[in-house]
Structure 1
Amino acid sequence: MTAWKSILAATALALASSTAAFAARTDVVVGVVLEPPHLDPTAGAAAAIDEVVYANVFEGLTSIGPAGEVEPALAASWEISDDGKVYTFKLHEGVKFHDGSDLTAEDVKFSLDRARAEDSTNAQKGLFAQIDSVEAVDPTTVKVTLKQPQGSFLYNLGWGDAVIVAPESAEGNKEKPIGTGPFKFDNWAKGSSITIVKNPDYWGEAVALDKAEFRIIPDAAAAVPALLSGDVHAFPNMPAGDALPQIQSDSRFEVVIGATEGETVLATNNKKAPFDNLKVRQAIAHALDRDAIMAAGSSGLGTPIGSHFSPANEAYVDLTGTYPLDLDKAKALLKEAGYPDGFKATLKLPPPAYARDGGQVIASQLREIGIELEIIPVEWAQWLEQAFKGKDYDLTIVSHTEPNDIGIYARKDYYFNYDNPDFDKVIAELDVASDQAKRNELFKQAQEILAKDAVNGFLFQLPKVGVWDAKLEGMWENAPIQATDLTGVKWAD
């Protein structure tokens, strides 16, 4: 009897210890599909950068919340002049960078001036184009004067590209990021994982997690067993593939199908023959079967789109019927364009399934109208160098996950090589409009112009397939910005 009592007591103690250990758990392993090229969100276009460091390591004057709303961040408050051109920001006091240096108005001035400089390497330099001057009024006050009113200015400051960095550490942020966020960079095991840890000196509300590891798992073949075994606790964007129904039926996990800002497009080099011919682009649009492409590239999830705009936005217009699936019409347009027998071109495909798998389907569909595509798989670093920076491509597939980014089509140096003065005029009006009804009308006009011009093959809005341990709280359902914000994540007691 005494022996049994001892065993039962030991068992109870072990269970209590196990329960206490679980209740006290403060680490999480997050699976991510792509490894970022570096960790400086102010010097790169890859969404994988923001997925790790946005809101966690780096902060801006404002931030984008889980519902897409603008929230205060490093700026405790702001005032806007009557003419809409002068923004005066009051910074939180006592904010320190992770190296122990104080955040001051001079750091804000440095960051904004650096982002908009002529030699800026910021991938979203256009966000800062309307800034005329930045003045550090005193250590906690910054005055930003715009060239003209800009309705989206506070929203723009919430992008990852607009985070605040210090001049002393800015150049080293690619490998060793130093921000002001609630987490600090700890380690990057290249090809494997990136680890961040709790910042004990954080100026704001402390996070619940002591450590978070972003483990790089590029495909479903590895992601599914990692999740089922407990090696990974959460996939904000899981490459579940055909295993999704199995995971959905497992009570250990929560599966949330949310929305992203990811307009997935067959990006087209509009100044390269034969794609500089509108009829060729229209022919391609008529040959695309979006449902089949989604079935292959996103497990049938997502929402078809006919222009570069999120269906979740109140200004969205369904333009999928602009060029309905019609192979005979597509062939006729190619003939009118001078290509009765079609032509050959290249299709560069980055790693995600929506590109690699969707690309195979698109190649098959375009073959039906005489367009023979040579498929060229590329890694993200190659894609960024060749397609995005070098404009060395015919066609490619990518999901543009930046928030509300229809204005990229007005950029003369952007990789689409698109140029339409009518579109530029609409975007120029949008930049200065602050009335939401007026902005929505302009957004609609912009969508219609892009659809009519068949600038790209507009495919579908990338779904956010979130899967995580059912005991994990605070993960975002939707992705209004390309981020894995862990600031509110914790394990349930």
Structure 2
Amino acid sequence: MKTLATMLGAAALFLTSGSAAIGARSDLVLGVVLEPPHLDPTAGAAAAIDEIVYANVFEGLTRIGPNGEVQPALAERWEVSQDGLTYTFHLREGVTFHDGTAFDAQDVKFSLDRARAEDSTNAQKGLFSAIETVEVVDPATVKVTLGHPQGSFLYNMGWGDAVIVAPESAPTNKEKPVGTGPFRFDNWARGSSVTISRYENYWGEPVTLETAEFRFIPDAAASVAALLSGDVHAFPNLQAGDALPQIEADPRFTVMIGATEGETILAINNGKAPFDNLKVRQAIAHALDREEIILGASAGNGVPIGSHFSPANEAYIDLTDTYAHDPEKAKALLAEAGLANGFSATLKLPPPAYARQGGEIVASQLRQVGIELEIIPVEWAQWLEQVFTNKDYDLTIVSHTEPNDINIYARDDYYFNYDNPAFDAVMDELETTSDPEKRKTLYQTAQRIIAEDAVNGFLFQLPKTGVWDARLEGLWENAPIQANDLTKVRWTE
């Protein structure tokens, strides 16, 4: 990464007139770190899917705005019954999917029933667990009845996993996504980019951009070079390293350091020895120096966390002192666990810089207390298969970017292999609680349980280091949801 600052000065000499367009332009090349495994947000857990298609290609009944607020989308308005059990959605009319088929209430029923079905492959199936029935009242009206009140229901319907799809195109959305959004899918050049273009028959306000290309650039140095040469116009989350201060001083670029929902964790396989021993997990927690990890993995811009919860949430509590950095305490705990001489394990690291660079630091810190880690770099598809799906790992580093997702710790078959009936009970109560203050208290209780159980090594909240051409406007400063919403993006000259 030390080469990035040197590259910054050198690359400026090669800046071509191509990056200084004459007059307003209507194309955009956006740099992203990871290539998605497919393009169907209703059938995969990878954030990289939503980062391309959410709000651009696919839409839900509601949508999440740039400040985390719930906004109307395919439902222009709705009513909620006094008991909080019935939601009547009034749908926009004249909406078509990109293949020309009409959108109506039957598509909503199909999508919600499909997502909550017993054989559903939706990665966030729990979002739909409160739904008892979905009834088509007429082509423009849908009534959803819940089994119990759910305070987060409208927010849940704004997730990428809840977008509305058509039965005609749902089977092929992984390769050729067909939605109702302002952009339609054009092309996927495997290993290189995904291109979308303006959908001329869009029901809402037309977008300014005619085309947008999402270019996959996992290497940090290559990202900076692409930005400086003008090959890429914007990085929603640039891996800039030590080059960031100089980029910030360059008037050609806008730099926005925002917040994300990304809890970056040292994930631990709780179902595998010796990590099934609480003392071992506590030792790991005491061995971690968050400030050093943040400095090396995110240029010092991350916010330390002590549990799986965003500091931006009003229910957040600071639990970073639950297991403060204390290598001697870590060694003592290992001795109490019968591992006075330490042990060896593997650390599987996906491509993002926060994982690869942070992993080196974590390995060094754990080595100081007697835990020797073999670092195994894996590609994103390998991580999804080996770690997330098959739970074939000891330790890994990943950022969970789904909003307000502490409930994953209650899932029976989740890759942490964590099981605590007390935590599950809190989640069950939260599911049926609508009162904001009671929900806040329950969230705080949940944070304390997983912090004290040292389920994972809670590191930091991933910052959003947005860098783009200074003539661009409309890109999000923060990331309340895993998305690169291009609907308001335009060139100012």
TM range (shorter): over 0.9
Q: Note the C-alpha offset of 1:149.
A: 0.7
Instruction: Give the match for residue 202 of structure 2.
Output: 202
Provide the C-alpha distance between the structure 2 equivalents of 1:242 and 1:51, rounded to a whole number of angstroms.
25
Q: Does 1:241 align with 2:259?
A: no
Instruction: Give the match for residue 282 of structure 2.
Output: 282
1:35-114 equivalences in 2 (<5 Å)? 35-114=35-114
Instruction: Give the match for residue 388 of structure 1.
Output: 388
Q: Deviations over 1:435-457 (max 9, x none)?
A: 21221111111111111110000
Instruction: Give the match for residue 227 of structure 1.
Output: 227
Instruction: Give the match for residue 167 of structure 1.
Output: 167
RMSD over aligned Cα, in angstroms? 1.2
Q: Note the C-alpha offset of 1:266.
A: 0.5
Q: Deviations over 1:93-117 (max 9, x none)?
A: 0110000000111111111111111
Provide the C-alpha distance between the structure 1 equivalents of 2:385 and 2:117, rounded to a whole number of angstroms.
21
Provide the C-alpha distance between the structure 2 equivalents of 1:101 and 1:441, rounded to a whole number of angstroms.
46
Instruction: Give the match for residue 377 of structure 1.
Output: 377
Instruction: Give the match for residue 124 of structure 2.
Output: 124
Instruction: Give the match for residue 439 of structure 1.
Output: 439
Provide the C-alpha distance between the structure 1 equivalents of 2:94 and 2:22, rounded to a whole number of angstroms.
34
Provide the C-alpha distance between the structure 2 equivalents of 1:22 and 1:449, rounded to a whole number of angstroms.
57
TM-score (norm 1): 0.95
Provide the C-alpha distance between the structure 1 equivalents of 2:391 and 2:115, rounded to a whole number of angstroms.
22
Provide the C-alpha distance between the structure 1 equivalents of 2:286 and 2:307, rounded to a whole number of angstroms.
14
Secondary structure at 1:187 match in 2: strand
Provide the C-alpha distance between the structure 2 equivalents of 1:398 and 1:342, rounded to a whole number of angstroms.
24
Instruction: Give the match for residue 183 of structure 2.
Output: 183
Q: Unmatched 5+ residue regions in structure 1?
A: 1-17
Secondary structure at 1:56 match in 2: coil
Report the AA paired with residue 120 of structure 2. Answer: S
Provide the C-alpha distance between the structure 2 equivalents of 1:216 and 1:47, rounded to a whole number of angstroms.
14
Instruction: Give the match for residue 251 of structure 2.
Output: 251
Q: Does 1:451 align with 2:455?
A: no
Q: Note the C-alpha offset of 1:344.
A: 1.2
Q: Note the C-alpha offset of 1:24.
A: 3.6
Q: Deviations over 1:179-204 (max 9, x none)?
A: 00000001111111111000000001
Secondary structure at 2:93 match in 1: coil
Q: Note the C-alpha offset of 1:207.
A: 0.7
Report the AA paired with residue 356 of structure 1. Answer: R
Report the AA paired with residue 41 of structure 1. Answer: P
Q: Deviations over 1:338-366 (max 9, x none)?
A: 11111111111111111111111111111
Provide the C-alpha distance between the structure 2 equivalents of 1:471 and 1:276, rounded to a whole number of angstroms.
52
Does the aligned pair in 1 maintain the 2:266–2:397 contact within 8 Å? yes
Instruction: Give the match for residue 142 of structure 2.
Output: 142
Provide the C-alpha distance between the structure 2 equivalents of 1:368 and 1:174, rounded to a whole number of angstroms.
45
Provide the C-alpha distance between the structure 2 equivalents of 1:22 and 1:451, rounded to a whole number of angstroms.
54
Q: Note the C-alpha offset of 1:22.
A: 3.6
Report the AA paired with residue 26 of structure 1. Answer: S
Secondary structure at 1:23 match in 2: coil
Provide the C-alpha distance between the structure 2 equivalents of 1:400 and 1:22, rounded to a whole number of angstroms.
40
Does the aligned pair in 1 maintain the 2:24–2:492 contact within 8 Å? no
Report the AA paired with residue 397 of structure 2. Answer: I
Instruction: Give the match for residue 293 of structure 1.
Output: 293
Provide the C-alpha distance between the structure 2 equivalents of 1:228 and 1:420, rounded to a whole number of angstroms.
49
Q: Does 1:467 align with 2:460?
A: no
Provide the C-alpha distance between the structure 1 equivalents of 2:397 and 2:47, rounded to a whole number of angstroms.
15
Instruction: Give the match for residue 411 of structure 1.
Output: 411
Report the AA paired with residue 102 of structure 2. Answer: D
Provide the C-alpha distance between the structure 2 equivalents of 1:273 and 1:293, rounded to a whole number of angstroms.
26
Q: Note the C-alpha offset of 1:279.
A: 0.7
Provide the C-alpha distance between the structure 1 equivalents of 2:127 and 2:273, rounded to a whole number of angstroms.
31
Secondary structure at 2:301 match in 1: coil
Provide the C-alpha distance between the structure 1 equivalents of 2:333 and 2:266, rounded to a whole number of angstroms.
19
Instruction: Give the match for residue 326 of structure 2.
Output: 326
Q: Note the C-alpha offset of 1:23.
A: 3.3
Instruction: Give the match for residue 481 of structure 1.
Output: 481
Q: Percent identity?
A: 75
Instruction: Give the match for residue 358 of structure 1.
Output: 358
Secondary structure at 2:408 match in 1: helix
Report the AA paired with residue 165 of structure 1. Answer: V
- Choose 162-171 or 417-426, whichever is displaced more: 417-426
Report the AA paired with residue 153 of structure 2. Answer: F
Report the AA paired with residue 266 of structure 2. Answer: L
Does the aligned pair in 1 maintain the 2:220–2:353 contact within 8 Å? no
Q: Unmatched 5+ residue regions in structure 2?
A: 1-17
Q: Note the C-alpha offset of 1:174.
A: 0.8
Q: Note the C-alpha offset of 1:21.
A: 7.2
Provide the C-alpha distance between the structure 2 equivalents of 1:88 and 1:204, rounded to a whole number of angstroms.
22
Q: Note the C-alpha offset of 1:368.
A: 1.1
Secondary structure at 1:437 match in 2: helix
Report the AA paired with residue 406 of structure 1. Answer: I
Instruction: Give the match for residue 10 of structure 1.
Output: none
Instruction: Give the match for residue 4 of structure 2.
Output: none
- Structure 1 or 2, whichever has the larger Rg, is 1
Instruction: Give the match for residue 152 of structure 1.
Output: 152
Report the AA paired with residue 279 of structure 1. Answer: K
Q: Deviations over 1:158-214 (max 9, x none)?
A: 110110000110011111100000000011111111110000000011111111111
Secondary structure at 2:110 match in 1: helix
Provide the C-alpha distance between the structure 2 equivalents of 1:158 and 1:466, rounded to a whole number of angstroms.
23
Q: Deviations over 1:380-431 (max 9, x none)?
A: 1111111111111111110000001011111111111111111111111211
Does the aligned pair in 1 maintain the 2:302–2:460 contact within 8 Å? yes
Secondary structure at 2:486 match in 1: coil
Q: Note the C-alpha offset of 1:220.
A: 2.0
Report the AA paired with residue 233 of structure 2. Answer: H
Q: Deviations over 1:226-265 (max 9, x none)?
A: 1111111110011111111111110010000000000000
Provide the C-alpha distance between the structure 1 equivalents of 2:344 and 2:222, rounded to a whole number of angstroms.
35
Provide the C-alpha distance between the structure 1 equivalents of 2:130 and 2:446, rounded to a whole number of angstroms.
20
Secondary structure at 1:382 match in 2: helix
- Choose 20-29 or 174-183, whichever is displaced more: 20-29
Provide the C-alpha distance between the structure 2 equivalents of 1:143 and 1:272, rounded to a whole number of angstroms.
45
Instruction: Give the match for residue 133 of structure 1.
Output: 133
Instruction: Give the match for residue 397 of structure 1.
Output: 397
Instruction: Give the match for residue 7 of structure 1.
Output: none
Instruction: Give the match for residue 348 of structure 1.
Output: 348
